Amino acid sequence: MLWQRLPSLSLSNRMNGNVQRNIIIAPKRIVCLSAEAADWLWRIGAWERVVGTTAFFKSLPNVAPKPRISGFSTAQFDEIADLHPDLIITFSDVQAPLAAELMRRGFAVLATNQRTLEEIEATLALLGRIVGCEAEAEGWLSEFRQRLNPVEELQFRPRIYFEEWNEPLIAGIAWVSELIERAGGEDIFADLRSKRAASERVVSSEEVCRRNPEVIFASWCGRAVRIQDIRARQGWEELLAVREHQVYEIDGGDILQPGFRLVHGYERIKQCLDSYSPSSSNAD
């Protein structure tokens, strides 16, 4: 894995002619433009180093809030500068323009673009190393792996459509597809799993109808899902998922942010599938 191939974060220090190594230089003022990074730093004990976060990071109970200095594709550059960060963390190709502009302004930027569960785990381990909290990170990663274990003793795998966006229709990113399969479902657009950009996962309403999902999950990237709008789409009244009232929303923070909170999205998927049983009309 990536984190296992990374060199130690250390510098050499010369004192009285002797070389001392493994002096950790960890950032002390971190801005998180992605919510999962802020959540992870809080979990592993580095919250006091976070000086600013994206507005998409949900405030934690009994935890001092930090200034909100960005959306997802936008940022307040002057406010970020006022925080004097020594590291800014971004995520995904969507934030690439922000990362580029911040680097032009002289800031140190860590830009990640994880798409699979394996890449997510590697990125979380990397963040733990960067802030010198490797042991704490490994503890949380152990729980992360355990809680994402695949379900066993499956009698059937319902066909599932995950909708990441509604205008245009965008199927789920790779890690969502992986979670669906671990939970016991069959992603009807698993063939798009290798497509890293959202623009490559655009699907047509007609193709969704042709693949006829038995369950639909939706999470619209920061917007509330309108279940009735999904049910009312032309031709969708014949979908098994719509006929059997198997259309669900999953909180974006629990399924679209590539961090520890994916365990909650996974539990939501499993909960919905546990209560699902195929009707006689699903025999086809």
Tokens found for residue 77: 């550059």
Question: Domain 2-147 adopts which CATH fold?
Answer: Rossmann fold (3.40.50)
What integer pLDDT is reported at residue 170 of this predicted model? 98
CA–CA dist 253, 124 (Å, integer): 16
Per-residue pLDDT of the chain (284 residues; tens, 9 = 90+): 443 444 334 433 344 445 444 455 799 999 999 999 999 999 999 999 999 999 999 888 888 899 999 999 999 999 999 999 999 999 999 999 999 999 999 999 999 999 999 999 999 999 999 999 999 999 999 999 999 999 987 788 999 999 999 999 999 999 999 999 999 999 999 999 999 999 999 999 999 999 999 999 999 988 899 999 999 999 999 999 999 999 999 999 999 999 999 999 999 999 999 988 776 445 44
What superfamily does domain 159-283 belong to in CATH?
Nitrogenase molybdenum iron protein domain (3.40.50.1980)
Domain boundaries, the chain: 2-147, 159-283
Helix, strand, coil % over all residues of the chain, rounded to 5: 40, 20, 40
Give Cα separations from 10 to 7, 60, 131, 155 (angstroms): 9, 32, 12, 51
> Cβ distance 255 to 271 under 8 Å?
no
- Strand 215-218 and strand 247-249: the pairing is parallel
State the DSSP H helix or E strand holding residue 117, giving kind and residue range, or none if neither.
Answer: helix 117-130
**Same fold: 2-147 with 159-283:** yes
3-state secondary structure (DSSP) of residue 198: helix
pTM of the model: 0.89
Tokens found for residue 98: 């922000």
Counting other chains too, the contacts that 178-182 makes at CB distance below 8 Å and 24 or more residues apart are: 178/116, 178/117, 179/117, 179/148, 179/255, 179/262, 179/265, 179/266, 179/269, 180/217, 180/269, 181/150, 182/148, 182/149, 182/150, 182/151, 182/266
